[in-house]
């Protein structure tokens, strides 16, 4: 059954190119600065739904996101954020790993919700006078 080569040179080349592409796009996507205040942005159906400064939250709380596609519950705390509940079919959003660091995202494709942690640069203001 296994006479002859299983993988040809061209197959190997395709695999190498794709792995290289994967590493390259990983570096590209996660290379932006991760310093500053961490902010949690929730997008619903392409629009910004809510923003929380997660480092200033002391108690974990839950956010309900409702739109015309469905609803889901997101747990927000200082340490981690995750999707607790969703009424979508595949439940991939609940099974995704909780997000901790900046640039990480959670998505629920059927409900069109994206949750991301972004880093907000602290504004360089010396003094504010009113």
Partner 1 sequence: MKIRYSTKDFILMCMFVAVGIVLQTVDNMIMFGSVPGGKLGLSNIVTLLNIFILGGNNALLISVMRAFLGSLLFGGVSALPYSVGGAFFSTVAMIYFKNKFYPELSEIGLSIIGAATHNFVQVVVAAIIMSSLKILSYISVLMLVSVAAGFVTGFQVKYLNKRLLNSSLFKKN
Which residues contact partner 1 by CB under 8 A?
Answer: 1, 6-11, 13-15, 18-19, 21-23, 25-26, 29-30, 43, 45-46, 69, 89-90, 92, 95-97, 103, 105, 107, 109-110, 112, 114, 116
**How near is the Cβ of 70 to partner 1 at its closest, in Å?**
10
Q: What is the dihedral sign for C-alpha 114, 117, 123, 129?
A: positive
Nearer to partner 1, 23 or 61 (CB): 23
Contact present, 72 and 88 (Cβ < 8 Å): yes
What is the distance between the terminal CA atoms of the chain, rounded to a whole angstrom?
82
Give me the residues paired with residue 99 across strands.
Answer: 81
Nearer to partner 1, 13 or 61 (CB): 13
């Amino acid at each position: 059954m296994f006479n002859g080569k299983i993988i040809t040179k061209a197959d190997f080349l395709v695999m190498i190119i794709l792995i290289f592409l994967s590493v390259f796009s990983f570096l590209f996507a996660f290379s932006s600065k991760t310093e500053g205040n961490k902010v949690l942005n929730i997008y619903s159906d392409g629009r910004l739904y809510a923003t929380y400064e997660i480092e200033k939250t002391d108690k974990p709380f839950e956010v309900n996101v409702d739109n015309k596609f469905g609803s889901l519950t997101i747990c927000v705390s200082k340490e981690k954020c995750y999707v607790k509940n969703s009424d979508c079919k595949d439940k991939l959003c609940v099974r995704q790993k909780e997000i901790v660091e900046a640039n990480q995202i959670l998505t629920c494709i059927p409900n069109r919700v994206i949750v991301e942690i972004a880093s907000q640069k602290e504004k360089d203001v010396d003094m504010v006078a009113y």
